[in-house]
Amino acid sequence: MQKVQFTETVLRDANQSLIATRLPYYKFAPILETMDDAGYYSLECWGGATFDTCLRYLDEDPWERLRNIRATVKNTRLQMLLRGQNILGYKHYPDDVVKTFVERSVANGIDVIRIFDALNDLRNLDSAVTETVRNKAVAQVAVAYTTSPVHSLENYVRLIKRIEEMGATELCIKDMAGVMSPSEAYNLVRAVKSESKLRLNLHTHCTTGLAYMTLLKAVEAGADIIDTCVSCFSGGTSQASTNTLLYALTQLGCETDLKADKAKEINDFFKPIQAEYIASGLLDPKVMGTDADALVYQIPGGMLSNLVSQLKSVNAMDRFDEVLAEVPRVRRDLGYPPLVTPSSQFVGAQAAQNVISGERYKQISKEVKGYLKGEYGTPPGIVNPELISKALGGELPFTGRFADILEPGMERGKLNAGPLARSVEDVLSYIIFPQIALDYFAKREEIEKNVVPYNITRKE
């Protein structure tokens, strides 16, 4: 009998995809003990956009959030998403910063680090993978899956074999836009499992409506772990339902450690939270539907919810469909990068700028210029030479490993973070999100002066 395990995403990717990561700690704290007892392989609870959002919007210390989760969840693996050399930010950071961040993440409670690079440039994964293994955590290295004229089954299998050779302890296929078809999932998983004995996780989204079929075919082909989310936060740009797939896989004779009664209890807990976000308008109907057009524009869940938020902020939601149509054109110009953070963000932002300004590349963002300069790695395909010329003038793109030319960052970060940074963790927060972290540190000081005792993650 085949065994299938579940990674629960409601604490990170599901709420990132549906409500722009606006789920504060106090809302889910009461259910953590039940989640710990449910039989999940892991709880994805940190990394991705949670770090930025904690500091920027939720008035939470992301490190304290992690420690609080770890204090309650004693038996289940805690998992995070790490963007390789980007860590959790939107540019490359020096190796000493990457290594320190990985070490402190494990020290504060992380067991599994899913590590990926937006361009699948393995040079950008090396430091994070090496440090994760050195700290005895699980290095679950992910391939960012996409479809394009320059991506193929054979290329993915070769890439995954190289990932195993670099020291990964688990493998993941990360279909962030939900574009992987059932047959593609079956063929790729079967090919990977024929070459590797490492555990393989399949991550996908419901955006296009393919997810349930894709996950079932992946399991049939030998996938060991699947990413799912409690029913009330599933669907749309989120993941497939944990509860539904548990039922279906059990019916098909698969063995799983997940307890159906606990999974129901967890879903029942989150139902009123979902209703609250619907009532507030933060859970937009646009991100809850199924859109087969996403097979063309390939926008992942977190990118879509952020794009909706960005267009609303400039009263341009009437241009939404135009922006979606522009995304694949920008992606083609940039050599078909997979649309996953940070490339998804700057491709989406550039597409929006092209539409709103009425002229393509009238303004080119600094992130797109950095990408064209080679600061993010090697593009998968050929970049539009006219765009390179317009953005860079006569400057030639850098072709080496960008982190190799970056000065060490930890000591400079300690100096610049100032007296309000109390720990190495605070310094890391500052290095990745300088002004946001400083604003948070100042707010933390003010709160502690006026309210004693105070827990910044507690609802007032």
pLDDT of residue 460: 43
261 C-beta neighbours (distance < 10 Å), count: 9
Whole-number Å distance between alpha carbons of 80 and 87: 11
The pLDDT assigned to 458 comes to: 47
Report d(CA 432, CA 447) in Å as an integer: 23
pLDDT value at position 450?
81
Topology given in CATH for the domain delimited by 5-280: TIM Barrel (3.20.20)
* pTM confidence score: 0.92
Location of structure tokens 């920008």: 330
| Positions in the chain short of pLDDT 70 | 1, 301-302, 305, 451-460
Token pair recorded at residue 101: 């961040």
Residue ranges, comma separated, of all CATH 3.20.20.70 domains in the chain are 5-280
What is the fold of 285-403? Cyclin A; domain 1 (1.10.472)
144: closest CA among 110, 170, 162, 121? 121
Which regions of the chain carry the CATH code 1.10.472.90?
Answer: 285-403
